[in-house]
Structure 1
Amino acid sequence: MTSALQHRQATFLRGHRAEWIALLFLLMKGYRPLARRYAASGGEIDLIVMRGDTIAFVEVKARGLMDNALTAITARKRQRFSRAARAWLSRNDWAANKTWRADAVFIATRRWPRHIVSAFELEMR
């Protein structure tokens, strides 16, 4: 096995574990999961959760340091994320009368997860 392949596998596993940690953290805060790893229109949403009348499209970022996690959501990522959110909403018309937002959960080594409500603006055009 090449080191590049091992690195990709380790990154995949770290991301998968971070998504589970984020989901458990959000469950403890009263959110109900609607979807995990939703992919459409060239974008992916790690978690889609709901609490009350609010649907949160959640990006999960795992890094060694919290500061690195905070800067990991690029403009390109936000565009692709928003495309996937629009696709999900178009397939779930029951969600039209809900409030939508883009949240983020940051995971760093030996730190509590950090949930940022409305971490960035969804591009709904």
Structure 2
Amino acid sequence: MRTRSERRRTTFLRGHRAELAALVFLIAKGYRPLARRFAVAGGEVDLVVARGKDIVFVEVKARSHLDEARNAITATKRRRFSRAVRAWIARHPKAAGKTWRADAIFIAPWSWPHHVVAAFEIEAL
């Protein structure tokens, strides 16, 4: 039986691999990476990418089934995500005049990544 720290490490590594897979997927779709794992007190954005005049903040969720991944973005997660988005925008003045949106990429074994454009609203923008 694995210890709690071993399970946490496995989950952490699975998350990193999922984010890398999502990034490669987005690059193949023509997005340009701007940031990865942008974190501030109380929030994190997994990926920040750009395409044209759009700046896209991406939440990546990896679960054993796509339905589980879709249900993993809770109201609390959206609030924390939005807090990090606001901080990123404040630190990057060139983001003014661009269109911002929050996408999600859901990843499950033996499935292509599922990209949902404008998956949820960025709160208080």
Q: What SS class does the counterpart of residue 100 from structure 2 fall into?
A: strand
Q: Is the 8 A contact 1:22 1:105 kept in 2?
A: yes
Structure 2 equivalent of residue 19 of structure 1: 19
Unaligned stretches of 5+ residues in structure 1: none
Question: Which amino acid letter does the alignment assign opposite residue 30 of structure 1?
Answer: G
1:106-121 matches, within 5 Å, as 106-121=106-121
State the match for 1:8 in structure 2: 8
Partner of 2:55 in structure 1?
55
The percent of aligned pairs where both chains have the same amino acid is: 62
Q: Deviation string for 1:87-122 (max 9, x for gaps)?
A: 000000110100000000000010000000000000
Q: Which 4+ stretches in 1 moved above 6 angstroms? A: none
Aligned-residue offset at 1:67: 0.4
The alignment's C-alpha RMSD in Å is 1.2
Q: Which amino acid in structure 2 is aligned with residue 108 of structure 1? A: A
* SS in structure 2 of the partner of residue 68 of structure 1: helix
Aligned to 1:74: 74
Give CA-to-partner distance per residue, 1:62-103, whole Å, 9 cap, x none: 000000001000000000000000000000011010000000
Counterpart secondary structure, 1:97: coil
Secondary structure at the aligned position of 2:96 is classed as helix
Deviation at 1:3, TM superposition (A): 1.0
Q: CA deviation at 1:40?
A: 1.2
The answer for unaligned runs of 5 or more in structure 2 is: none
Give the counterpart letter for 2:115 in structure 1: H
Tell me the TM-score normalised to structure 2 length: 0.97
Distance of 1:90 and 1:117 partners within structure 2: 23
Distance (whole Å) between structure 1 residues aligned to residue 13 and residue 90 of structure 2: 31
Distance 1:71 1:96 in 2: 32
Letter aligned with residue 77 of structure 1: K
Which SS does the other structure have where 2:9 is aligned? helix
Measure the CA separation in 1 of the matches of 2:41 and 2:10: 26
